[in-house]
Structure 1
């Protein structure tokens, strides 16, 4: 699995909602920025194809870049141990 960074997430989300990555703040609600559940699921599936295993329900608890990054970082740390 490739290491994902918060910038990887920001870039992928930005591409999905057609905004510049700099427009996504760590605490911005991604749904308010235009990320609907179908696009979110598409992102999760794309990341899974790259080797990142995520539980969509965990991501739904905090729909911010920081919230998603916390889930990804925790998952990456679990897989390393």
Structure 2
């Protein structure tokens, strides 16, 4: 399975206990309750399931889906 913006949004919504439709691509996910523990679980999930070569720091620097997509190899 390839990572897509939709899949990223669904995974973020899953760790936050939210509906994917409520997760914007361009806003700081910390404002939606994303903390370091949840972020680390996303990093591990994407490494395990998608072979993503990503670090916690990479994602923590800009916690928004639109910033993560290119780092995770998602193409527009």
What's the TM-score bracket when you normalise by the shorter of the two chains?
A: 0.7 to 0.9
Distance 2:25 2:41 in 1: 21
**TM-score normalized with structure 1 length:** 0.82
Distance 1:54 1:48 in 2: 7
What's the CA shift string for 1:43-79, capped at 9, x where partnerless? Answer: 11111111222122111121111011121127x8xxx
**TM-score normalized with structure 2 length:** 0.87
**Greater Cα radius of gyration, structure 1 or 2:** 1
- Which residue of the partner structure matches residue 72 of structure 1? 72
Q: Give the 4+ runs in structure 1 shifted more than 4 A.
A: none
Give the count of matched residue pairs. Answer: 74
Query: Does 1 or 2 have the higher relative contact order (CA < 8 Å, sep 6+)?
Result: 2
Q: Which runs of 5+ in 2 are unaligned?
A: none
Structure 1 residue 26, shift from structure 2 partner? 1.1
